[in-house]
Amino acid sequence: MNEDTLAVGYADLSLFGQDPVWLVVAKAVAVFAFLVLTVLVAILVERKIIAWMQMRLGPNRVGPWGLLQSLADGVKLALKEGIIPKGVDKPLYLLAPVIAVVPAIMAFAVIPFGPDVSILGNQTPLQLTDLPVAVLYILAVTSVGVYGIVLAGWSSGSTYPLLGGLRSTAQVISYEIAMALSFVGVFLFAGTMSTSGIVAAQEGTWYVFLLLPSFLIYITSMVGETNRAPFDLPEAEGELVGGFHTEYSSLRFAMFMLAEYINMVTVSALATTLFFGGWRAPFPFSMWEGANTGWLPVLWFVLKVWGFLFVFIWLRATLPRLRYDQFMNLGWKILIPVSLAWVMVVATVRGFYNAGYDAQTLTLVVAGFTLAAIILIAVWFRMKGARAQAIRVPVAGEDTRFDPMAGGFPVPPLPGQTSAQAEEARNA
């Protein structure tokens, strides 16, 4: 590995830690205000878009065109009585919403909004702070947030919240492994785990083109990580009433809702930073020299984040909730093995590049599209097979009995099937 290649691995963090105290506080307040405002707008936009997709009107009563609906909902939640059920573990019950929302806000501290700018004569990056291991910091902090969900389910002293908390634990463990593996290719190519360094490394080509399988694995994992449809199993209202937050009301429920939407913004911002060039202007605006200077890059960053938020909303309006065993199979049998195979491909290509070979981009693009096609074909055949099995009509004389516990967990009968236990009980 030569010196030029090594030099890529060191991000310039010299500008961080030099700001006066008032500027640090102003940045922190700005990040918090951005998150809260984005959540208020996202809730309204989600309800409007889903209504449009389902040919409904959506919120249209509070304020002009219903624009104040989110604010009215927030005031309504604040004025409601905070009920604490009997039998709860009160300290953990009260602490759980705080544990859920605080890490969600903290994770945004290392997200770059733009390049260096001048604020009242102080040259400063549009980022609260940065670390040599900033992406690992985000993974660590967001992992803490799941404790809020687990403790909410445990402390409520009720069956359905407990099941929701257990589901969330398994879900986060499963999909955080695939998410972390999807970052490895980015680290290998950027040569750094610093978020500002990763954005700087994408000055020529965005990593979504070089590392397409990593991006596909990440966007799947980020939906599972944020408990959003079709992976919203910890709060599946059809099975668990409300899931882990069933026993919460008033501001405590609002904190869980705030944490969910802030996590959506965080993973969207992380996808923008790692794969879409961060605050860098998209083509053809990138051809203009001033597109990546001053405050204009903040606009590109926000537009990219909202693009991912639209995908979250689109998925919720389109896809039904997965069955739990399907969800676990997707994580452990598809995403993690494919992630490991892709990491080996990226590491091999990177090794050849460091040895002096120069076919890096072409190799990665071809391998990436090939692997992405294999993934999509495998998922399509799997879904097609499951659908064919679900609609299959048994022929005359066929044994339609089945064991609902054969797979280790209870499964309801398909059309035309009969539980062996039920048939034995009927014959008796």
Place of tokens 């670390």: 131
DSSP 319: P
Give the whole-angstrom CA distance, residue 5 versus residue 428: 76
Give the whole-angstrom CA distance, residue 332 versus residue 217: 12
Cis ω before 320 (30° cut-off from 0): no
Contacts of 166 by beta carbon, 8 Å cutoff, 6+ apart: 150, 153
- In one-letter notation, the amino acid at residue 178 is A
Give the whole-angstrom CA distance, residue 126 versus residue 124: 7
For the whole model, what pTM was predicted?
0.82
Phi, psi for 405 (deg, rounded to 5) = -105, 15
Name the nearest CA neighbour of 189 among 58, 380, 349: 349
According to DSSP, the residues that pair with 126 across neighbouring strands are 114
Give the whole-angstrom CA distance, residue 185 versus residue 308: 21
DSSP 331: I
Delimit the domains of the chain by residue range: 13-350, 356-386
If one counts every other C-beta atom within 10 angstroms of the C-beta of residue 93, the result is: 20
Task: Return the SS3 of 377.
Answer: helix
Tokens of 54: 């389902």
Name the nearest CA neighbour of 259 among 365, 122, 141, 130: 141
Name the nearest CA neighbour of 112 among 189, 199, 30, 18: 199
Name the nearest CA neighbour of 349 among 333, 332, 329, 364: 364
> In Å, how far are 2, 174, 221, 359 from 181, measured between CA atoms?
26, 12, 10, 24
Q: What would the pLDDT profile of 180-216 be if each residue is shown by its tens digit? A: 999 999 999 888 999 999 999 998 889 998 898 899 9
Place of tokens 């409601």: 80
Give the whole-angstrom CA distance, residue 417 versus residue 154: 36
Report CA Rg, the chain: 24
- The half-sphere exposure of 123 on its side-chain side, counting CA atoms within 13 A, is 3
Which residues of the chain are modeled with pLDDT < 50?
A: 1-9
- The pLDDT, as a whole number, for residue 4 is 39
Parallel/antiparallel/unpaired status of strands 122-126 and 401-402: unpaired
- The pLDDT, as a whole number, for residue 417 is 64
Task: Return the SS3 of 119.
Answer: strand
Q: What would the pLDDT profile of 314-359 be if each residue is shown by its tens digit? A: 998 888 888 877 888 888 888 898 899 888 888 888 877 777 766 6
Give the whole-angstrom CA distance, residue 243 versus residue 247: 9
Parallel/antiparallel/unpaired status of strands 122-126 and 114-119: antiparallel
> In Å, how far are 42, 294, 296, 426 from 285, measured between CA atoms?
26, 14, 11, 71
Phi, psi for 316 (deg, rounded to 5) = -65, -35
